[in-house]
Structure formats: C-alpha cells, structure tokens
C-alpha cells in the first residue's frame, strides 16, 4: 500500500489504517528494536519499546501530510529513535547487559514453537473477526478499550456518546463477544 493510499484511509477510517500499518510493519519494527536492544533489554523492555513505536507512529503520522515521504522510512525513523531512547534510559539506570543465552526472546524456535506462533496468530485473527462482527459502534468501543487502552470518556468522544452509554455498550458488547468466541471454540 502506498503512502497516499494510507493517508486516504486515515481520513476515512483511522482504526483500519492503524491496524493495516501495525500488521504491515510489526516485523520490521521488531527487527529494528530487537537489533538495537538485544544486549541491554529484557523481553518486556523490547515489547514496551515496540508498543511505544506504534503509539508514536499513530500519533505523528496523519492524513494532513506533515511528513512527506515513504511510510516505511517514517516507521524506520521512529523505531530507531525510540530504540535509542530506550537504550539510553536503560543504560542510565545501570541495567546490565542481558546475555544472549539468558534471553528467551533469542532462543531459536523449534517446529513446535512455530506451530504455537501460527496458532496464536490464527486465534488473533479470529478474535479480530469476531470483534468486527459486533458492528458499529460496539466494535470500535471494544477496540478502543482493549487495544488502545482508552477510558470511557475518551471513547465517548470518539463515538459521540456519553461515557455511561459507552460503559453499558462495552459491557453488552463484551458479553456478545464472549458468546461468539465460545460458539467458535465449540465449532472447532
């Protein structure tokens, strides 16, 4: 997808654009961050840095075009900067280097591990499809709450409802989602 297509999608559906950017560039960001932090950071620090990278991307990359250029370059720039900032923060706290042998993120995957990862990815896609099947505004409310970690007041501003209505819809949507996922599990 080109930079212009992503910007157009950001205008019409920011959540879809963000999901597309995440899916498209997660492995790229992970590689950049991991290569910078592998000797100094724990697995949790690396995952936190990756989350911060995508947060920065979603905040700074917009449809108005403040950044002119390829989105991949923008993603790489943010990932490198955030990884360096994390490295500085960790080294300033006196964090010792992590041995390659001790870091479970560096272990080579066996065939069983690849199967587990594939199953987790498949499960993640099934959950996302189940959330989408809820329809609007329930799917947006669920995504904003559990994916973006927003509170009811922030979600209310996004979907144009009162916070109390958002909480009620969230509760009902979670029950619907639970039923959908339970039915999916029984069908396997």
Confirm if 75 and 28 have CB atoms less than 8 A apart: yes
Average pLDDT of the chain is 79
Tell me the per-residue pLDDT of 67-89, one tens digit each, with 9 for 90 and over: 566 788 888 989 999 999 988 88
Full-model pTM: 0.48
Tell me the per-residue pLDDT of 20-48, one tens digit each, with 9 for 90 and over: 888 888 999 999 999 888 888 888 889 99
Element (H, E) at 60: helix 43-60
**Domains in the chain: ranges and CATH:** 3-106 (1.10.1740.10), 111-182 (1.10.10.10)
Position 104 pLDDT exceeds 70: no
- pLDDT in the model for residue 1: 63
In angstroms, rounded to a whole number, what is the distance separating the alpha carbons of residues 122 and 145? 22
Percent of the chain with pLDDT over 70: 78
Confidence category of residue 162, pLDDT binned at 50, 70, 90: very high
Specify burial of residue 53 (Cβ count, 10 A radius: 0-12, 13-18, 19+). Answer: buried
Q: Residue 106 gets which letter from DSSP? A: G
């Amino acid at each position: 997808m080109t930079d212009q297509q992503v910007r157009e999608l950001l205008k019409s559906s920011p959540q879809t654009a963000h999901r597309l950017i995440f899916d498209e560039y997660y492995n790229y960001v992970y590689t950049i961050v991991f290569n910078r932090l592998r000797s100094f950071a724990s697995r949790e620090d690396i995952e936190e840095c990756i989350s911060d990278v995508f947060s920065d991307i979603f905040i700074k990359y917009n449809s108005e075009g403040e950044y002119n250029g390829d989105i991949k370059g923008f993603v790489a720039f943010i990932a490198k900067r955030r990884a360096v900032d994390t490295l500085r923060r960790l080294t300033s706290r006196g964090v010792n280097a992590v041995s390659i042998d001790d870091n479970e993120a560096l272990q080579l995957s066996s065939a069983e591990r690849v199967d587990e990862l594939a199953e987790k990815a498949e499960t993640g896609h099934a959950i996302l499809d189940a959330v989408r099947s809820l329809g609007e505004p329930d799917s947006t409310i669920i995504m904003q709450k559990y994916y973006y970690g927003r509170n009811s007041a922030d979600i209310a501003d996004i979907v144009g409802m009162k916070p109390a209505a958002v909480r009620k819809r969230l509760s009902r949507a979670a029950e619907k989602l639970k039923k959908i996922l339970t039915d999916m599990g029984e069908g396997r």
